[in-house]
Amino acid sequence: MQPPMGNERPPPPGRPVSAFVPGAAVPPPPFAAGGPFARPPQSGATAPPFGAAPPAAMGGFRGPPPSQGPFGAGPPPQGPFTTSAPPSQGPFASAPPSQGPFASAPPSQGPFATAPPSQSPFTSPPPSQGPFAAGPPPTSPFAATPAPFRPPPLSLAQPQSPTGGALPPPPTYARPPQTQGYYTGAPPANPQFPMSRPAFQQPVQTMPPPPMGPAATFGNQAAYAGPPVGGTLQSLVEDFQSLALSSAPGSLDPGVDVKGLPRPLDGDEEPVKLMEAYPLNCHPRYFRLTTHAIPASQSLVSRWHLPLGAVVHPLAESPDGEEVPVINFGSAGVIRCRRCRTYINPYATFADSGRKWRCNLCTLLNDVPGEYFCALDASGRRYDTDQRPELSKGTVEFVAPTEYMVRPPMPPSYFFLIDVSVSAVRSGLLEVVAKTIKSCLNELPGFPRTQIGFLTFDSTLHFHNFKSSLSQPQMMVVADLDDVFLPLPDDLLVNLVDSRHVVESFLDSLPNMFHDNVNVESALGPALKAAFMVMSQIGGKLLVFQSTLPSLGIGRLRLRGDDVRAYGTDKEHTLRVPEDPFYKQMAAEFTKNQIAVDIFSFSEKYSDIASLGSLAKYTGGQVYHYPSFQAPTHGDKLKLELNRDLTRETAWESVMRIRCGKGVRFTTYHGHFMLRSTDLLALPAVDSDKAFAMQLSLEETLMTTQTVYFQVALLYTSSSGERRIRVHTAAAPVVTDLSEMYRQADTGAIVSLLGRIAVENSLSDKLDSVRQQLQLKLVRSLKEYRNLYVVQHRIGGRLIFPESLRFLPLYILAICKSLALRGGYADVSLDERCAAGFSMMILPVNRLLNFIYPSLYRVDEVLTMEPNKIDASLKRLPLTFQCLDTGGLYLLDDGFTFLVWLGRMLPPELVNNILGLTLAHFPDLSKIQLRECDNELSRNFMKILRTLREKDPSYHQLCRVVRQGEQPREGYLLLSNLVEDQMAGTSSYVDWILQIHRQTQS
């Protein structure tokens, strides 16, 4: 029997199961609970954190017409949810239904509520019909049925306080403009979640209520009924959602309705509504702030607790297929501010009849070149603004003149460093690599300037002469690894057009050339030095194919492996950092000479990705990891990912700088690059699959401007040999209100930045400490937000947070359970952990979110549909085992792998049609290769896989098949990705929410 392949290698026998209880190793933070994954206690002498509120908090009165406030004690604070209703109408509060799978508690006990209901003893008689009238009351011994939410009688003129006094009316509220991020309409209703609250609701997006009845179905989040037409009294009734808690001491039932928890089933939410407020900004997929409201003071920054920064994706694919406009200023030259060097942009203003322009970043008044002059209209706007993209669009590209070049633009160059030791030959690696490179020769960018070269190595270095006059390449062997030299001055890196026939001849003969090689050694270090000597004059991209641990010459690595004794100690992080400084030193030399390095690692055993990956980390490259590579299983994945790497449009010899307006600056940067100065990122090669994150700080104690401007400038050489500058410009308001920062928060950008910071912290600290730091940031942030409202509104036992951050607790839990940070010694192999960390450092926001919280679909129900209806019928499911039906076929997609899960009761004929074989005759599912069979079910299934792959072509998902109950494969392929479930000492989503809630109250 062959060993298991791919990332399904089971843990070695004898390894202990990881406890993964962060609070055990480090003293817990100063909260009621311990570490981030400690399950909350179910019993104790103290009162439960979700204690019942006083009876007054359960009233159903909602408030009279707008002129009269809900509390009558002056105007409520202007919080992030001030609409026509008072702040108590937050998006996370709704009346708990009187029925459901869990007995509901009084409204004040839900963990997700932005404010309590209005407190008044006056309520109208119960309606005879409505969403809260049907069905018997719950029978739980721990909860009483709350009074139903009812509108006040129409005859009420003024509310009375519970003590009997009349309440003075507060000022009338005015709804803020929609440009401040308010929800503008209701999505279509989802029949999977029946409505359980009245239709008269405020136009604020909320989470769905728990469905009535015992059905435990999951699906996309339900919608609510739209706002009523006209100014009726019912329009003032509060609309908020709550998750009722009925937990009691000694109870095993946490009392949280699982189906009502917020889940990002629609993926990343780009803050496109900002484009309405700032239509001149670049699209958010290029530049996203963690909050699109810049704090006006250092004190606000200290109360924010979450990272303040941005995610930049400079070469992202244009939204809706729009082309980025290219501008050539000609003799006028690129127009820039002479003081801060900002490029002309839509936020620049013109003065002196059009002869001057004012820089929006530093406010300097600059001269307008004569060739660029245009008169102004009565409002001070140039007449040609709409005809000039640089004055009307947030993203443009300038053609750079010769003064932006230190040398002639380089041609696209590709140099391949290929390990030909015995492991590479036996796994079929050489054949796949050779065939893929040959198939890509016509698509390599830069024709007819493209350069190409090859160097193979085992215990010696093999140079290949591709001189165009040769009919076959000549191989020259250098055995001296201590003093590497080039056997030829030229013809090792050649023009592809001139030497095409020699290159193709080499690729055809490469698999057979080393077919009988039994050499097990690897001289990677000397090979890197030789490649540097070949490429240093031109630069380009170096692709390293490594199938065994470097063992000879400089840069050789020892088999240090994973050490269980190091986990939980101060030496734990040393396993995840490079052992030999040689690789970082080489990366610095490569970057200086405009060489980017991509690492393809294929080892069956430990290959020290931590050391090899530093070559990619500091040169703007990428790490591809194929553990236990075998051509029949992994061949398609390698072929398509190598094809993508070679043929995607690449920006060569690049540098990137982000300029900020007065009072702010970027301080730390996260991603794959070399920091050349305090704010200049050196990127020998960059493409559309790489994003960068950075943290922002205030330079002044108090901001004096109303708006802060940002400008990202990427200077690069295109594959066609043209020097260009891609410029993204954005503006953000300066605010003095912390609640506005929360309202404008961008969860995707926050998670992307937090994930990168956590990965970097894991290189200098224990995994346990890193996970605790993440939890601490979340708790402090939600506690600060809670303090904005809890005093005035007596919120009591509710976990409240803004609509913008409703998914943040789940995403932070998902980061803690990701491959890079989960568990300890027994949970993830060291190489896979490091490879996942390198991937998280470069992934754009949407791909990172899908990586940590994968997409789960049930596909057996849609396979019989018409092919054109299948895509619309696929619905994402929550990542919990409760969603899996034993009679179902499920697909899990994290962007890198497809996992096909076969339920135990799945009809055999369905399995046979999709897999093309009978499971009884094929017991080892690890060797199954999915191919399209001649039947409708198989065609539809493969169409689903193709559709998902087309949505994200940056990686090719390797397909794995696993049966229910097939251990240990099911455990480490599927169950470890169900981030909402409790496993191996980690918290479930429900436990996590209860724990966060308890700590925000402490």
pLDDT of residue 797: 67
Average pLDDT over residues 12-26: 42
Q: Examine the pLDDT at 217 and tell me if it is beyond 90.
A: no
Sign of CA pseudo-dihedral 227, 228, 231, 233: negative
What domains are defined for the chain? Answer: 56-128+138-153+183-251 (no CATH), 326-392 (2.30.30.380), 420-554+583-648 (3.40.50.410), 854-978 (3.40.20.10)
pLDDT bracket for residue 868 (50, 70, 90):
confident
Can you read off the two tokens belonging to residue 112? 């997700």
Using pLDDT thresholds of 50, 70 and 90, give the confidence band for residue 609: very high
Number of CB atoms found within 10 A of residue 375's CB: 11
CA 274 and chain centroid, separation: 20
pLDDT higher than 70, residue 709: yes
What average pLDDT does the segment 352-362 reach? Answer: 95
Does the structure show a pLDDT above 80 at 433?
Answer: yes
Helices (H), strands (E): how many in the chain? 23, 27
DSSP secondary structure letters along 946-960? HHHHHH-TTS-PEEE
Q: Is residue 132 over pLDDT 50? A: no
Q: What is the pLDDT of residue 567?
A: 81
d(C-alpha 987, C-alpha 21), whole Å? 9
pLDDT at 793: 61
CB atoms within 10 A of CB 56: 14
Is the pLDDT higher at 722 or at 130?
A: 722
pLDDT at 968 exceeding the cut of 90 = no
pLDDT tens digits, 626-665: 999 999 999 999 999 999 999 999 999 999 999 999 999 9
**Are the CB atoms for 751 and 811 separated by under 8 Å?**
yes
3-class secondary structure, 676: coil
Q: Rounded CA gap, 203 and 837, in Å?
A: 41
- pLDDT given for residue 78 in this prediction: 44
> Which of 317-326, 526-535, 738-747, 942-951 shows the lowest mean pLDDT across its residues?
317-326
Q: What single-letter DSSP state applies at residue 280?
A: T
- Select the highest-mean-pLDDT range: 22-26, 113-117, 294-298, 782-786: 294-298
More confident residue, 258 or 76: 258
Query: So what's the pLDDT on residue 927?
Result: 84
In the block, tokens 């396979």 appear at: 863
Q: What is the largest CA-CA distance in the chain?
A: 103
Tell me, what's the pLDDT at 906?
A: 92
Q: What are phi and psi of 944, to 5 degrees?
A: -60, -45
Judged against a pLDDT cut of 50, whether residue 56 lies above it is answered with: no
The span from the CA of 103 to the CA of 659, in Å, is 55
**Residue scoring higher pLDDT (21 or 679):** 679
The structure tokens listed for 778 are: 């979340």
Q: State the average pLDDT over residues 378-407.
A: 94
**Residue 10 and residue 971: Cα distance in Å, rounded?**
9
- Is the per-residue pLDDT at 158 higher than 60? no
**Contact yes or no for 288/273 (Cβ under 8 A):** no
What backbone phi and psi angles, to 5 degrees, belong to 558? Answer: -90, 160
**Of the listed ranges 97-111, 358-372, 766-780, 961-975, the one predicted with least confidence:** 97-111
**DSSP 8-state code for residue 563:** -
Tell me the mean pLDDT in the region 388-404: 94
Which among 771, 862, 870, 867 has a CA at the least distance from the CA of 824? 771
Angle at 157 between CA 152 and CA 160, to 5 degrees: 75
Q: Can you list the positions of beta strands (E) in 194-348?
A: 287-289, 294-295, 309-312, 326-327
What is the pLDDT at residue 255? 63
- Enter the tokens of residue 698: 């205030």
Which strand (E) or helix (H) includes residue 728?
A: strand 723-735
Whether the bond between 210 and the residue before it is cis, its omega within 30 degrees of 0, is no
Q: Which residue has the higher pLDDT, 518 or 214?
A: 518
The model carries a pTM of 0.77
pLDDT bracket for residue 859 (50, 70, 90): very high
pLDDT beyond 60 at 949: yes
Contacts of residue 719, Cβ cutoff 8 Å, sequence gap at least 6 = 412, 445, 446, 649, 650, 652
Percent of the chain that is helix, strand, coil (3-state, to 5): 30, 15, 55
Confidence check: pLDDT of 786 > 90: no
CB of 546 closer than 8 Å to CB of 602: yes
| Helices 429-440, 500-513: crossing angle, 10 deg rounding | 170
**CA–CA gap between residue 740 and residue 243 (Å, rounded):** 25
Report CA Rg, the chain: 31
Q: For residue 739, what are the contacts with CB-CB under 8 A and spacing of at least 6?
A: 77, 78, 79, 80, 785, 788, 802
Q: CA 658, CA 680: separation in Å to the nearest integer?
A: 8
- Copy the structure tokens of residue 123: 């309520």
pLDDT beyond 70 at 188: no
pLDDT at residue number 254: 62
Region 59-70: mean pLDDT is: 40
Residue 996 has pLDDT above 70, yes or no: yes
Task: Identify the band that residue 872 occupies on the pLDDT scale cut at 50, 70 and 90.
Answer: confident
User: Alpha-carbon distance 644 to 832, whole Å?
Assistant: 22
What distance in Å separates the CA atoms of residue 128 and residue 130, rounded to the nearest whole number? 7
Tell me how far apart the alpha carbons of residues 79 and 86 are, in angstroms, rounded to a whole number: 9
- 8 A C-beta contact, residue 209 and residue 127: no
Residue 884 and residue 890 in contact, taking contact as beta carbons nearer than 8 Å: yes
Q: What is the mean pLDDT of the chain?
A: 79
The span from the CA of 675 to the CA of 693, in Å, is 13
Strand, helix or coil for residue 28: coil
pLDDT band at 169 (very low <50, low <70, confident <90, very high): very low
- The residue among 256 and 913 whose pLDDT is bigger is 913
What is the arithmetic mean of pLDDT over 209-229? Answer: 35
Neighbours of 133 (CB within 10 A): 11
State yes or no: pLDDT of 814 exceeds 50.
Answer: yes
Q: What is the per-residue burial (b if ≥16 Cβ within 10 Å, else e) of 267-279?
A: ebbbbebbbebbe
Sequence-distant (≥ 6) Cβ neighbours of residue 358 within 8 angstroms: 348, 349, 350, 351, 364, 365, 366
Sorting pLDDT into bands at 50, 70 and 90, what band is 120?
Answer: very low
Quote the percentage of the chain above a pLDDT of 90.
60
| Cα three-residue angle 767-768-774, rounded to 5 degrees | 90
Bridge partners, residue 456, by sequence: 418, 462
For residue 128, what are the contacts with CB-CB under 8 A and spacing of at least 6? Answer: none
The b-or-e profile of 934-965 (16+ CB within 10 A means b, else e) is: eeebbebbbbbbeebbeebebbbbbbbbbbbe
349-351 and 540-546 strand pairing = unpaired
What percentage of residues in the chain have a pLDDT greater than 70? 74
Count of other CB atoms within 10 angstroms of residue 253: 14
Residue 701 in this model has a pLDDT that exceeds 80: yes
